[in-house]
Amino acid sequence: MSTQTQSSDAFSTYKQNVQKYFENISKITPQYFQSITYLQEECFKACEKTINASVSMQQEFAKKTGISTEIPSAAKSAIVDANKQFVQASTVQNQFVKTTIDTTVQNMKTFNDNVNAFVELNKNIIQSWVNPFTQKN
């Protein structure tokens, strides 16, 4: 915020404090999102490593104890097909969520573009209410 004359008017004080708040939010929001992204990446890595380590341990156990790990081709096909369906459903869900977010962003942009028009309309309404009481005869 640039150096402005401090006013004791309630609305000026309010506007100055709101401006300071949003300036601060605009500075810290990118850092927050970056931290969340790093956390999400680390969680994904941890899940993948944990699952792979568990499978490797079970595979080693089966090998050392002589347990057969062969599965019928129909079962293998069912597992592969189920995974394909899961991946496809996840992709569709992701596209739906992204489209929803993009639409919401566009709606917010439209709202932001029209805030001044709403304010002007409300000013005109207020003026029409106040006029009968302030007119001088």
User: 61-102: per-residue pLDDT in tens?
Assistant: 999 999 999 999 999 999 999 999 999 999 999 999 999 999
pTM listed for this prediction:
0.62
pLDDT category at 5 given cuts 50, 70, 90 is low
pLDDT at 130: 85
pLDDT at 133: 77
Percent residues over pLDDT 70 in the chain: 93
Instruction: Say how far residue 109 (Cα) sits from the centre of its chain.
Output: 16
Q: Is the pLDDT at 136 greater than 90, yes or no?
A: no
CA distance 50 to 66: 24
Cβ-contact 62, 69 below 8 angstroms:
yes
Which tokens hold the place of 103? 């639409």
